[in-house]
Structure 1
Amino acid sequence: MPVKNRGSVVFATAQKLSKEALQCFFNPEKTWLVGLFLCSVEVILNLCVINTVKFTEIDWIAYMQEVEGFINGTYDYMKLQGDTGPLVYPAGFVYVYTALYYVTNHGANVRMGQYIFFLIYLVNLYFVLRIYNKTKKCPPYVMIFMCCTSYRIHSIFVLRLFNDPIAMLILFISVNLFMENYWVFGSFFFSFAVSVKMNILLFAPGLLLLMIEHGIKATAINLIICAGLQVVLGMPFLLNNPIGYIVRSFDLSRQFMFKWTVNWRFISEELFLDRKFHLILMLFHFLLLCAFLGWKWQRLLLFGLIEMCWNTYPSTTISSLCLNICHVTILIGLLYEQSNYEKNSKKISKLN
């Protein structure tokens, strides 16, 4: 083969391969392939971060001090504390960090803790990528910004050893289980995630709506699992000082410090700490949920009301009135759908 032709073939092959490689980053069907590449990059990146960037001590020592009290036999949550203040996380946190306490030589071997969180990061990334691969709704290149280029993510995982990564890992496990219709196991892991850090409850409204879609009975079973696990995990502390445990581990009155905020940095600290501002945000969140219900779940809400009215015994004026309103709403909906169907049928007939 002439040199010129050989060069053309090589160039064409290289062009084809580069085009296919580029397509991988835009084709959701190739998510698993890009994910495998990103996981390989993350191994190198995390090892470099651990071995070259200084560990940031914020809460690690305090975590170890808090669980040390538990290990020494203190089951009263009001007496468990560290240098940064009292223990404010549920029982799952205590058990997880008790294990880390022993593995890291009472918290002294921070480097071991970093490598453990490095593994947690990779497992977490796997479950997140699995969600992307399962849904196939997002181009793979987005994952580059999600992990490799995120300084904050690497910092939270391997430089600070916060409990957020552990809670989120367990949450993503539960999401994967929900996607596979393993609702009982998913509920178990969701509740376990809540027991590590309470902010996982922010996912609860959306999850509850999805549960209701599978029926009232299934929802009740899943909620019992969630609540039951919290009781089981908190039992040693509930038996000792139940009020103290509930107040400390699920304290809704705690206030986030302005210096740590990311989303609200553009407002003043005074406004950020104002309770009225908090109530406005909560109200806005509630209204958005209601709007979502009206748009996405109106039929589900309607059938839920009918079910509730039917099960009201003895029946009341309100339950009877509500039941009739629901029936009239369904009738109007059917007539409206029939009208739309007839109009569309006429349009199709004219086109034909």
Structure 2
Amino acid sequence: MARARLVKERPASTPADRRRPIHFAAFLLLADAALVALIVAFVPYTKIDWDAYMSQVDAFREGERDYTKIEGDTGPLVYPAGFLYVYSAIKFLTAGQVFPAQILFGVLYLVNMSLVLLLYVKTEVLPWWALGLLCLSKRVHSIFVLRLFNDCVAMTLLHAAMVLIVYHKWYLGLIIFSGAVSVKMNVLLFAPSLFLLMLKAMSIKGVFLALLGAAGVQVLLGIPFLLSHPVEYISRAFNLGRVFIHFWSVNFKFVPEKYFVSKELAIGLLIFHLTTLMVFAHYNWFKHEGGLFHFVHSRFRDATSIQQLISCKPRQSILSKERMLTLKLELLVFTAFGTVLLPD
């Protein structure tokens, strides 16, 4: 294995330097809480999916377990079972009313922002003043408190999983990650980067057990549907070939509809996304190991037996603790680029 290069350490920070981003993050949360309250009070709610969500929840609560028969005014249910459980709880808490739901999602927004700020403060990839940029997204505020999309729950769970992973709680992190997938499958876009992180930090046995736990979450949540209508559930909840509606597109509104709904565009975007991940993995994320392919080869070359191959963790590069934390955030945050490639 090529000798890993040493990473130059930053000068040691003082206690005041370490406290500054924490204090600024706390101030941002308070300011953002006030902004969210103003948005809920004065900006009109955008009716898109909420009524459909409530109709789908009603069908589920009334005992329907056939996914092909659970529908709303925007079409059939296309999310895994976790979505139904989460929005059933939300309906119980809000009685299906929009205003209480907006308050609930406002709190969820602040939880999500707290997790994101924690990630950036922990990894120190931004100067403290740049944390303010995280609170300026008009679209994120809109998605949370004006549209009440299931993306809000899914991304909050994903960020919680990222925090756990940064703190080396791999198994629990994978369980929470799987919970996020059960709310909306878009979270699977983060799976390739997460898998690379697991290969860098865990033994093959550990990776297998973590993935087994994540799969177990999906089975457990889907049991009511898998026992009664398994084909209908799997084909609807995990439909990778679903075509998005051009009218609701944000990222690809400029693409003519006939191309927007084509399989060629979907396959092309997927190939582009995976290729970009591979390039970054080889030339950036695994550069200290001699590249992605050298790292994978070394896992087999360094093992003297099948038992060692399965049970031993990879040989760690000589990297600073700061670099390892930053790498985790780079891998997972960069994968969010894939959400831009989604034609919705």
**TM-score of the alignment, normalized to the shorter chain, above 0.5:** yes
CA distance in 1, matches of 2:222, 2:119: 31
Residue aligned with 1:240, SS = coil
Q: Which of 279, 296, 304 is residue 301 of structure 1 equivalent to?
A: 296
Q: Say yes or no: does 1:84 pair with 2:77.
A: no
Give the CA deviation at 1:307.
7.7
Alignment of 1:204-283 (within 5 A): 204-213=191-200, 214-283=202-271
Alignment of 1:141-152 (within 5 A): 141-147=129-135, 149-152=136-139
* Aligned residue type for 2:112: N
Q: Say yes or no: does 1:74 pair with 2:64.
A: yes
Match in the other structure for 1:32: 22
Give the CA deviation at 1:308.
9.5
* Aligned residue type for 1:241: H
Give the CA deviation at 1:286.
2.7
Q: Say yes or no: does 1:57 pair with 2:30.
A: no
* Aligned residue type for 1:298: F
Q: Say yes or no: does 1:161 pair with 2:148.
A: yes
* Aligned residue type for 1:158: V
Give the CA deviation at 1:42.
1.1
Unaligned runs of 5+ residues in structure 1 are 1-26, 312-352
Larger radius of gyration: 1
Match in the other structure for 1:184: 171
Give the CA deviation at 1:289.
3.1
* Aligned residue type for 1:279: I
- Counterpart contact for 1:121–1:157, Cα < 8 Å: yes
Stretch deviating more after TM superposition (40-49 or 250-259): 250-259
Alignment of 1:4-153 (within 5 A): 30-105=20-95, 107=96, 109-147=97-135, 149-153=136-140
Deviations 1:250-302 (A, max 9, x none): 11111222333333334333332222122222222232233334331333211
Count of residue correspondences: 283
Match in the other structure for 1:342: none
CA distance in 1, matches of 2:142, 2:280: 35
CA distance in 1, matches of 2:125, 2:219: 38
- Counterpart contact for 1:177–1:183, Cα < 8 Å: yes
- Counterpart contact for 1:62–1:82, Cα < 8 Å: yes
Aligned CA distance change for structure 1 residues 68 and 277 (closer, same or farther; 3 Å): same
Aligned CA distance change for structure 1 residues 139 and 263 (closer, same or farther; 3 Å): farther
Stretch deviating more after TM superposition (35-44 or 225-234): 35-44
- Counterpart contact for 1:184–1:222, Cα < 8 Å: yes
CA distance in 2, matches of 1:304, 1:260: 45
Q: Which of 189, 195, 204 is residue 202 of structure 1 equivalent to?
A: 189
Give the CA deviation at 1:28.
7.9
Deviations 1:304-337 (A, max 9, x none): 44489965xxxxxxxxxxxxxxxxxxxxxxxxxx
* Aligned residue type for 2:298: F
TM-score by length of structure 1 reads 0.76
Deviations 1:169-194 (A, max 9, x none): 01000000000000011011000000
* Aligned residue type for 1:289: L
Give the CA deviation at 1:216.
0.4
Aligned CA distance change for structure 1 residues 307 and 85 (closer, same or farther; 3 Å): farther
Aligned CA distance change for structure 1 residues 275 and 305 (closer, same or farther; 3 Å): farther
Aligned CA distance change for structure 1 residues 266 and 76 (closer, same or farther; 3 Å): closer
Match in the other structure for 2:338: none
Q: Which of 157, 161, 169 is residue 174 of structure 1 equivalent to?
A: 161
Deviations 1:128-168 (A, max 9, x none): 00001100011233333322x32211111111111001100
TM-score by length of structure 2 reads 0.77
Deviations 1:70-117 (A, max 9, x none): 111111111111111111100110000001111112x1x211111100
Residue aligned with 1:51, SS = helix
Aligned CA distance change for structure 1 residues 273 and 252 (closer, same or farther; 3 Å): same
Residue aligned with 1:256, SS = coil
Match in the other structure for 2:340: none
Give the CA deviation at 1:37.
1.1
CA distance in 2, matches of 1:41, 1:310: 57
- Counterpart contact for 1:31–1:132, Cα < 8 Å: no
Identity within the alignment, %: 42
- Counterpart contact for 1:69–1:80, Cα < 8 Å: yes
- Counterpart contact for 1:29–1:136, Cα < 8 Å: no
- Counterpart contact for 1:60–1:162, Cα < 8 Å: yes
Following TM superposition, where does structure 1 have runs of at least 4 consecutive aligned residues deviating by more than 6 angstroms?
Answer: 307-310
